[in-house]
Every structure is written in structure tokens, then in C-alpha cells.
């Protein structure tokens, strides 16, 4: 009789172990997938910026500094493309700030705002900014759920035995966000 109880308990534990392990795998894959989504949007932004700078250049004569800041921030961000979430969030935050400064400056040039090409670019850029923040949002949610599982009992036992490590959040530094001027159209 006792042998059956022991076998039964072992089987139940084994099933629970496998189920937890699979859940961890699923959550980690979701984190990876969410990270890939951010990556796609950040690359899209690198591609859009040279076009934008090119289009804007012809119209704005006195804003060389702003334009250069954007180009510089973009190049820095692209160089940091292979680093971890924390480092990357910092340089991308700087790029976002430089871009929104440029978009504020641009408001002073009505000719530019009538340019069809610029309007299309602006739509793409606005949307890419949104997509970056939405994919960041989804990534951080996924990381939170994955990390909870790796830290909470009993799944943390399975996680530590099978070598799952907590993931890093993609946090735009609060100070950077504050520094970025709020875009307002008048």
C-alpha cells in the first residue's frame, strides 16, 4: 500500500515539475518574441531618420544643431544595438528626446508642414514612436510575468534547478523622459 502512495506522490510531483518547466519555457519565449518586436521597431526608426533629416534640411536653415543631435543620437543608438536591454534603453531614450526636440522645432516652418513627403514621414515616425512604446510596454509585461515565475515559490525551485534567470526590463530612464519636451501643436 505504502509503495503505491509513494509512486503516486512521485508521479504527481513529476507532472507538476514538467508543467512548470513548460510554462517557464513559454513565458521565456514570449519575452524573446517581445524583445524581437522592440528590435524591429527600433531598426525601423534608424531607417527613417536619415530620410527625415534629408527632407527637413532643405527647409530649416538655423537648426543645424538640432539636426546634428538627432543624427548623432541615431548613430550612437545603432552602435549599441547589440547590447543588453538596460544599456539600450538609455541610448534609445536619448534618441527619442532628440527626435521630439526636432519635431517641435519643425512646427515653426509652415512650408515644411505642407510638404507631402514630410507629412508621410511624420506619420511613419509618430507611429514608429508609438510602436516602440507599445512594444516596450508588452515586453515589460512579459518580463514581469516571467520574473514572477522565476522568483515565486514553487516555480522558483524548478527555475533554479533548470537554470532560468530573470530578464532585464526595458526602462526608459525617468530623468530622460522628463527632459524630453512635450510636443504641443499650436
Based on the shown chain and the rule CB under 8 A, indicate whether residue 141 belongs to the binding site for another protein.
yes
- The CB density around residue 152, as the number of other CB atoms within 10 Å, is 10
Asked if residue 171 binds another protein (CB under 8 A), the reply is no
Q: Is 178 in the site for another protein (CB under 8 A)?
A: no
Nearest to 75 by CA among 93, 95, 56: 95
CA-to-CA dists, residue 52 to 116, 121, 124, angstroms: 12, 7, 10
Among 31, 34, 42, 172, binds another protein (CB under 8 A): 34
User: For residues 135 and 155, which CB has a smaller minimum distance to another protein in the complex?
Assistant: 135
| Residue 138 binds to another protein (criterion: CB under 8 A) | yes
Q: In the complex with another protein, which residue's Cβ is closer, 18 or 183?
A: 183
Judged by beta carbon, residue 75 or residue 156, the one nearer another protein is 156
User: Which residue of 54, 117, 137, 160 would you call a contact of another protein, by CB under 8 A?
Assistant: 137
Q: Give CA separation, 56 vs 29, 69, 89, 180, in Å.
A: 40, 14, 26, 20
- Size of site (CB under 8 A) for another protein: 23
Residue 176 is a binding residue for another protein (CB under 8 A): no
**Near another protein in 94-133, by CB under 8 A:** 120, 123-124, 126-127, 130-131
d(CA 146, CA 31): 8
Q: Closer CB to another protein, residue 87 or residue 123?
A: 123
CA atoms of 75 and 89, how far apart (whole Å): 15
Are 69 and 98 in contact by the 8 Å Cβ rule? The answer is yes
Cell numbers at 144, concatenated: 514581469
25 vs 120 by CB, closer to another protein: 120
Amino acid at each position: 500500500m505504502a509503495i503505491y502512495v509513494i509512486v503516486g506522490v512521485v508521479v504527481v510531483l513529476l507532472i507538476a515539475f514538467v508543467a512548470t518547466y513548460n510554462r517557464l519555457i513559454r513565458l521565456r519565449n514570449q519575452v524573446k518574441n517581445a524583445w524581437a518586436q522592440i528590435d524591429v521597431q527600433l531598426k525601423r526608426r534608424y531607417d527613417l531618420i536619415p530620410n527625415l533629416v534629408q527632407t527637413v534640411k532643405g527647409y530649416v536653415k538655423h537648426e543645424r544643431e538640432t539636426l546634428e543631435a538627432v543624427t548623432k543620437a541615431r548613430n550612437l543608438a545603432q552602435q549599441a544595438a547589440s547590447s543588453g536591454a538596460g544599456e539600450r534603453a538609455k541610448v534609445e531614450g536619448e534618441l527619442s528626446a532628440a527626435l521630439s526636440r526636432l519635431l517641435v522645432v519643425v512646427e515653426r516652418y509652415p512650408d515644411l508642414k505642407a510638404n507631402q513627403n514630410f507629412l508621410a514621414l511624420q506619420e511613419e515616425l509618430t507611429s514608429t514612436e508609438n510602436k516602440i512604446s507599445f512594444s516596450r510596454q508588452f515586453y515589460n509585461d512579459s518580463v514581469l510575468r516571467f520574473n514572477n515565475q522565476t522568483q515565486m515559490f514553487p516555480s522558483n525551485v524548478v527555475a533554479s534547478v533548470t537554470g532560468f534567470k530573470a530578464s532585464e526590463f526595458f526602462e526608459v530612464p525617468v530623468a530622460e523622459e522628463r527632459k524630453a519636451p512635450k510636443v504641443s501643436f499650436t
